[in-house]
Amino acid sequence: MKRFVVALPTKFANLCGHIIAPSQSIKKLFEKCGTEKHVDGITTGFDLELF
């Protein structure tokens, strides 16, 4: 099941022309899973240390 959960978004991402991740950690996750397309990580602008 875990393999399917990783493979499906990776295959979908590889169909895209460009990937925008909502954070740097998600960007790293896409890259780690084998996404072949360019991934940009866009930070939310919130300082999480305040929370």
Q: What is the pLDDT of residues 1-51, one digit of tens each?
A: 778 777 888 899 999 999 999 888 889 988 898 889 899 988 777 777 877
Q: How far apart are the two ends of the chain, measured CA to CA in Å? A: 34
Residue 46 is predicted with a pLDDT of 75
State the total domains in the chain.
Answer: 1
Q: Is residue 51 part of a domain?
A: no
Determine contact, residues 21/39, Cβ cutoff 8 Å: yes
What pTM does this model have? Answer: 0.66
The residue range of the domain holding 39 is 2-46
Residue 38 is predicted with a pLDDT of 92
Residue 1 is predicted with a pLDDT of 73
Residue 16 is predicted with a pLDDT of 92
Q: Is residue 25 part of a domain?
A: yes
Q: Is residue 42 part of a domain?
A: yes
DSSP-derived 3-state class of residue 46: coil
DSSP string, 8-32: HHHHHHHHSS-EEESSHHHHHHHHH
Q: Is residue 23 part of a domain?
A: yes
